[in-house]
Every structure is written in C-alpha cells, then in structure tokens.
Amino acid sequence: MHNTLFVNLTAPNGQSWRQPTGLFINNTFLPSSGHIITSIDPATEKEIATVHAASAQDVDKAVKAAHGAFRSPEWRDKSATERGIMLTRLADLMESNKELFATIDAWDNGKTYQEALNNDLVEAVGVIRYYGGWSDKISGQTISVPNKFAYTVRQPIGVVGQVIPWNYPLSMATWKLGPALAGGNTVVLKAAEQTPLSILVLGELIVEAGFPPGVVNFINGYGKEAGSALVSHPLVDKVAFTGSTATASQIMTLAASTLKNITLETGGKSPLIVFDDCDFEQAIKWSHLGIMSNQGQICTATSRILVQSSIFDRFVSEFVAEVKKTSKVGHQWDPETYQGPQVSKQQYERILSYIDLGRSEATVAHGGEKASVGGDGKGYFVTPTVFIDMDTNARIWREEIFGPVVCIKRFETEGQAVAEANDSVYGLGSAVFTKDLERAHRVAASIESGMVWVNSSQDCDPRVPFGGVKQSGIGRELGYAGMEAYTQIKAVHVNMGNRL
C-alpha cells in the first residue's frame, strides 16, 4: 500500500481537487494497516485512484474513537441547538462544494453529472439541513399518573455503525448522518467499495463545520472484512444499513450477539399498476423514470409494471417509444446522456446474465444487449431493456436485477393486479396510475409496501418517511420517523410525596 494520504485529481470535466485517500478517524486522515481499494471509472474502466481500506484492526480504532467522543464533554455537553448549527453549517459547506461532489460521484459511480448535481446533491444538502432543524426539537412527553408524575426524554443511542451502498454515494451517507448527529450519537460510517471517494471529501467538511474529533469517522473497506467487523463490534450500539437483502440478513446475525438496535433498508421489486382510466402520458413518463433513471440502480425502482389489458399493447408501444426518445446511453459527462454506465463490471455482468435469462422467460420488446459507447469496447454500458409476456414464476419478474431492465405484464381486474403486486418477498415502493380517487386510495391501502406513489414514481423528500416492509427492510429513514430511529426513550417516575 502506498503511504500517500492525499492525491491530486483532475476529472474528465476539468474539475481538479486534492482527494484524501486515508481513513477519516478522529478528524484526521490515517493510513490503513495494509489494504487498498481501487476506484474505477465505469465508463472507461480506467483507474481513478486507490484509497486505504480498513482492516478489522482499523475498524476497532474508528469505533473506539466514536466511543470516546460519545462520552467526551466536548460532544455530550453540546446543546441540541449547537448540534443543529453544526449540521446547518455542514449543509452550507456541501452546497458551496456541490459541483465538486457531483463530479466525484459521477466519475466514481458512472451516473450522469447532471443527475448527480441536480438530484443527488440537492437531496444530500436538503437532508442535512432538514435534520439540522430537528436537532433542538426533539422532546419527550409528560404522563399523568395518579399521585405521581412521569416524563420521558429522548436520548441518543450511542455509537452508530453505518454501512451504505454505491448507488447514491453521498446522499445515502447523509440519510444516515443527519438524524444520527441531530440526535447526539457518534458515527462510524463505511462507504461502499465501488464508490469510496466522496465520503473522504465530506470528512474535510466535517472538520470545517466544527464537529469535535471522533464524532464522525469515515472508513472505506470491503464488506466481508471492514463491514462485518463494524456491525459486530461490541462497542457499536446501533447498526444502520442500506444494501442488499442477503447482506442485511448476515448483518442481523452479526448484530445479534450484543443485541444491537438495527435499521435496514434493503432490496425491492416494486410494482407499478396502470389502470385503463389513467392519464396515459403521465403513466408513460413516470413509469419510464421509475425504472430507467440512475441506470436502473434504484432500490425503489418500479421494475414490475402491471398494465390493464385494454391498454396493454398501446402502453408497451409508447413505453418503448419513450425509451428510444429519452434513454440515451453515453458517458456521464455528456449533457445529452440519460443513462451512464453501470457501476462495476460485476453489476454489468449480473445484469447481462439476467437479460440472457429473460430471453428464455419472456419476449424482448426493446434492447436486450450491451451498449457500445465511444467505439472502443470499453465501459459497462447496457441497452435499456423491456420484457413482456413473462409469467409470474419467471425469475426476471421475481428477482431484483438492479439495472435498466423492466418487466411489463397484463392484468384484467383490480383484484388480480393487487394480488400479483403483493406476490413478492419484497415490499419497498409501489405505484398506482388511475384517475379514480376511490380506487387510488383503496389500492394504496392494500398494497404491501412501505411507500405508495399515486400517479407518480420515486418521489422522495427529507420530510417523508422512507423504508420497506417484508424483506425490504426494518425501520424507517427520513422524516421524524428517521429521527426516532436514532434516539431512545428514557422514562422517569417522580414520587410526588405519596408514600402509601
């Protein structure tokens, strides 16, 4: 491993900066004890930089820093108002560096620069600012008890171990950092090995925003080594994870030995139901965005579309026309690009293998192959793919593909649509398109999912709880529900002089 803790980088869009590469522990960058992660541009397959990857021993150092900081007067005695001010300052600093963060995430992840700037950064800044506002509004209750007095206080949980995925590198970090810090916890956050860069630049802003050493620690590292060391560490009080359902299940097992509080946001195969009385143009627009944006790498992607029989053929033909018109595949820096490369070779090959499988399970209405961009055969580009005519046992209908691949299926009645929508181990998002108000709310009530979009898809707002049911997760992020997840209730009973 190189001992370098900073490298100078210049991205293809001309942006230059000094990139930290170490482990961010106690407000400084430290070398790891031997491992590295190589960050790759998925459009060119060229190396961007190597960063230090934490070993179990490094994770122990980070957790001990967070453990010490949680008990230090420098953090413990900060008022809630002061914590809120630090978060607001962090939001301002992120906003003034938004082009830099968008550049890093576009380069590292392959998402378009425009999407990173106008979607991810707006969300990331908004979430930190939102939780900055919550910090001094966390309160308990007073409870009437005969002849006694009882009250509750909401207190921080302690050291939080946070593990995030690569599809929205910076915003996934902010969803977890905002409420954790507003609530007075301390944090060790591990970024995904595919996208290790932006979190380290955020570390520099954490210092600038005034957070005391050890309150926020950022590490890169591999899931099996650094991730599992973090989620099983005895000094970690809560684990918050976003990623695949398979990993979440391992994390539950690892966290069980010391009974850690957990929040899990996992996979999905979200249904989108289109009734024949819908606003057709809106249904096409949102159903396209719901699966094809962010390269289809969205946990809430509405990847199973159920369309009422009478409008099925028209829907498929206009959906394909929308893909041809809108989903331009290209490099992440080209302003015309809608769909950049998939994040990694592994994801690219996984998606292509599902597409191969799909040929035997369904009919290809569009796409169904890799895409070539730039003519040099480089880059993890996939043509957006539309499958029809599969049955409900098809693996492409049931399993999460996590790429620009959609399955469209017909239904006859509302009851059949809801039953097929609910026939899944997942329950993250769902959408319904209809102009019938009663039906919209009836379907919203009966769909087994954590979120429902009526005449829309993928809406997400810091003020609104986000999360899944069934195997899509446990607990909620965002909104006040997200705040509650990072605090615990203490009950205080006061004897008012009744000694009987």
Q: Annotated active-site positions, please? A: 265
Does the footprint of ligand NAD cover residue 475 (CB under 6 A)?
Answer: no
Please identify, using beta-carbon distances, which residue of 268 and 404 lies nearer to ligand NAD: 268
Taking the complex as a whole, the smallest distance from the CB of residue 166 to ligand NAD amounts, in Å, to 5
Taking the complex as a whole, the smallest distance from the CB of residue 339 to ligand NAD amounts, in Å, to 17
Whole-Å CA distances, 91 to 69, 127, 177: 22, 8, 12
Distance CA 428, CA 148 (A): 44
Whole-Å CA distances, 227 to 53, 97, 163, 233, 250: 11, 28, 7, 10, 11
Q: Which stretch binds ligand NAD (CB under 6 A): 51-59, 97-105, 265-273, 313-321?
A: 265-273
Does the footprint of ligand NAD cover residue 32 (CB under 6 A)?
Answer: no
Does the footprint of ligand NAD cover residue 339 (CB under 6 A)?
Answer: no
Furthest-apart CA pair in the chain: how many Å? 87
Taking the complex as a whole, the smallest distance from the CB of residue 205 to ligand NAD amounts, in Å, to 21
Please identify, using beta-carbon distances, which residue of 265 and 322 lies nearer to ligand NAD: 265
Please identify, using beta-carbon distances, which residue of 213 and 475 lies nearer to ligand NAD: 475
User: Which residue among 299, 329, 405, 417 contacts ligand NAD (CB under 6 A)?
Assistant: 299
Residue 93 near residue 205, CB atoms below 8 Å: yes
User: Which residue among 265, 278, 348, 471 contacts ligand NAD (CB under 6 A)?
Assistant: 265
Copy the structure tokens of residue 480: 């006040």
Q: Which of residues 228-247 bind ligand NAD (CB under 6 A)?
A: 228, 231, 242-244, 247
Taking alpha carbons only, the member of 229, 230, 224, 226 closest to residue 246 is 224
Copy the structure tokens of residue 150: 């009882």
Whole-Å CA distances, 189 to 72, 198, 271: 20, 13, 31
Does the footprint of ligand NAD cover residue 179 (CB under 6 A)?
Answer: no
Does the footprint of ligand NAD cover residue 108 (CB under 6 A)?
Answer: no
Q: Are strands 453-454 and 431-433 parallel, antiparallel or unpaired?
A: parallel
Query: How many CB atoms are closer than 10 A to CB 294?
Result: 23
How many residues appear in the chain? 500
Q: Which of residues 409-468 bind ligand NAD (CB under 6 A)?
A: 428
Output the CA torsion sign for 468, 473, 478, 481: positive
Distance CA 495, CA 140 (A): 19
Distance CA 122, CA 48 (A): 25
User: Which residue among 33, 44, 88, 250 contacts ligand NAD (CB under 6 A)?
Assistant: 250
Residue 296 near residue 367, CB atoms below 8 Å: no
Query: How many CB atoms are closer than 10 A to CB 377?
Result: 9
Residue 219 near residue 190, CB atoms below 8 Å: yes
Does the footprint of ligand NAD cover residue 345 (CB under 6 A)?
Answer: no
Nearest 10 degrees: Cα torsion 166, 168, 171, 177: -20
Taking the complex as a whole, the smallest distance from the CB of residue 7 to ligand NAD amounts, in Å, to 22
Query: How many CB atoms are closer than 10 A to CB 413?
Result: 10
Please identify, using beta-carbon distances, which residue of 227 and 384 lies nearer to ligand NAD: 227
User: Which residue among 218, 380, 402, 433 contacts ligand NAD (CB under 6 A)?
Assistant: 402
Residue ranges of alpha helices (H) inside 53-97 are 56-71, 73-76, 80-96
Taking the complex as a whole, the smallest distance from the CB of residue 226 to ligand NAD amounts, in Å, to 7
Helix (H, G, I), strand (E, B) or coil at 403: coil
Copy the structure tokens of residue 467: 């999360």
User: Which residue among 41, 58, 193, 237 contacts ligand NAD (CB under 6 A)?
Assistant: 193
Does the footprint of ligand NAD cover residue 196 (CB under 6 A)?
Answer: no
Taking the complex as a whole, the smallest distance from the CB of residue 154 to ligand NAD amounts, in Å, to 24
Does the footprint of ligand NAD cover residue 322 (CB under 6 A)?
Answer: no
Binding mask 77-96 for ligand NAD (x = CB under 6 A): --------------------
Taking the complex as a whole, the smallest distance from the CB of residue 459 to ligand NAD amounts, in Å, to 14
User: Which residue among 179, 203, 214, 223 contacts ligand NAD (CB under 6 A)?
Assistant: 223
Does the footprint of ligand NAD cover residue 167 (CB under 6 A)?
Answer: yes
Q: Are strands 142-145 and 148-156 parallel, antiparallel or unpaired?
A: antiparallel
Using CB under 6 A as the binding criterion, the count of chain residues that bind ligand NAD stands at 28
Does the footprint of ligand NAD cover residue 358 (CB under 6 A)?
Answer: no
Q: Which stretch binds ligand NAD (CB under 6 A): 77-85, 108-116, 221-229, 482-490?
A: 221-229
Q: Which stretch binds ligand NAD (CB under 6 A): 99-107, 165-173, 205-213, 486-494?
A: 165-173
User: Which residue among 179, 268, 368, 462 contacts ligand NAD (CB under 6 A)?
Assistant: 268
Taking alpha carbons only, the member of 266, 19, 47, 59 closest to residue 167 is 266
Residue 302 near residue 429, CB atoms below 8 Å: yes
Interface with ligand NAD (CB under 6 A): 163-167, 190, 192-193, 223-224, 227-228, 231, 242-244, 247, 250-251, 265-268, 299, 400, 402, 428, 473
